[in-house]
Structure 1
Amino acid sequence: MSESLVGWEARDGVATLRIDRPPMNALSTAVQDQIGQAARELSSLPASEVAAVVVYGGDTVFAAGADITEMQRMTYPQMVDRAAVIQECFRAVARIPKPTIAAVTGYALGAGCELALCCDFRVAASDARLGQPEVLLGVIPGAGGTQRLPRLVGPARAKDLIFTGRMVEADEALRIGLVDEVVDPEQVYAAAQARARRFVGGPAYALRAAKEAIDRGLETDLDTGLAIEASQFAGVFATEDRVTGMTSFMESGPGKASFDAR
């Protein structure tokens, strides 16, 4: 049986996907595989059980990158096969059909940064460092960095980070939109949990539809994106939460509905 390096637990509607490979949470192939498996398990759970997910590496480091010792030994044919697997494991995180928050402590570099990019939101410690330093090893990001980073911060800023391999501090990451909130190091997990709890008891299928429309729309042209939105918009009219929300609005005004994730 393989060593458990990634796990998850759920409490009060919020799940924590936890990486546990000290000291730096290097993302070996085993860790990558277990991240993908944990993400798929969380995706399969009903929103009534898990409404949102926090991705966390502990109070010291989020993930300092791939396991370079392991990667150095890999041949070209091996990486041809493995690259698709890496991306699929991270894609499983990006496709969790509920809000996700990365709680970034210490370093989120290389594949660690790419993992954070898979989340909907990123809360970072004030002393956190993020970046895509792969070029300094003579390679490029391979777990989504060349695609997700420019979509988040724009192509010029993404090229700056990827071409130079430089790390950015938390305040710059906030300024360029790489992270969404900066807090004291000891408050990172609590702040991420607080963001996640906003979605507990919310209209789960509307949140799922909104995430799907935004993420899929970013991958295509405007007209196709609008068609995706129209389909998702119409789809939520089949939910009980839509009836609940509109009835509550008519009877009590906005923001007072209690949803059942149905």
Structure 2
Amino acid sequence: MENNPTGGNHTIYASNSSGIWENGTVLYRNKSLPTVIYVDAVFRYMIYVPPIQDENSSLEICEVGIVGCLPTNYGPLCDKTCPKHCSGPCNLKNGTCTFGCLNGWIGHKCDIDVHCMVNSNTSVVTCVPIVDKVYPSSGPVNGGTVVTITGKYLGNITDNISVNISGVICNDVTVTIPNTELTCVIGEGNTNQTVGISVSVNSTNYSNQTYKYFSFKEPRIINVSPLKGIVFGGTTVTIRGEHIDFKGQDRYNISFCDED
């Protein structure tokens, strides 16, 4: 087919899914069609669309040379690994994700979580905290429960972190595993406070006020058995009641008083 510099563009598409050009990625587009075209791409289908399409349009491809790396590698020696969140092979020269990112990732190399933002001036990445789990899920109304929060982007030991659970401030925030786990001591609450959590890391906030993460319970003793024991101690006492099985360390401080 002769070059047609005025009748539109010669376009070459590549695709890994089908031979339909609408589903492909443009490898070459120009008004002229040179004898040799070099492209850096890995694909299963190559589709040529001429500038003028009719029943007499034809193109003879003499040779297709395949030179490059495995789909998972790039670089002059193919010794660099493509970003793991690329949706398909990466660029053979610089490793950018030619076919976009898997769900949940953004950036030229798909290495930025969708919950994160990149400052265009400083290139600093800021991520919104994400809470996956709060343990334990309940504690006494008078507070003091040590709560463990797990998730992502929960901060480091040098960050300014604040936590509010079920409308109550959680004090003494401590990062136990950077970015993924922290603990805090919840304050005094009431049995009506049962939903919601807010976590702030350096003024970047996460809030979910619909899910039940932690609830306050009012302990109530029903009976104690036995009622007497020897003065030297050692008697095993069984206490039955409601909301007295709170999880966590150092949860109980039990003392018995004389009837006098």
Same fold at TM > 0.5? no
Q: What's the TM-score bracket when you normalise by the shorter of the two chains?
A: under 0.3
Q: TM-score, with normalisation over the residues of structure 1?
A: 0.19
Higher helix share: 1
Q: TM-score, with normalisation over the residues of structure 2?
A: 0.19
Determine which structure has more spread, i.e. the larger CA radius of gyration. Answer: 2
Higher strand share: 2
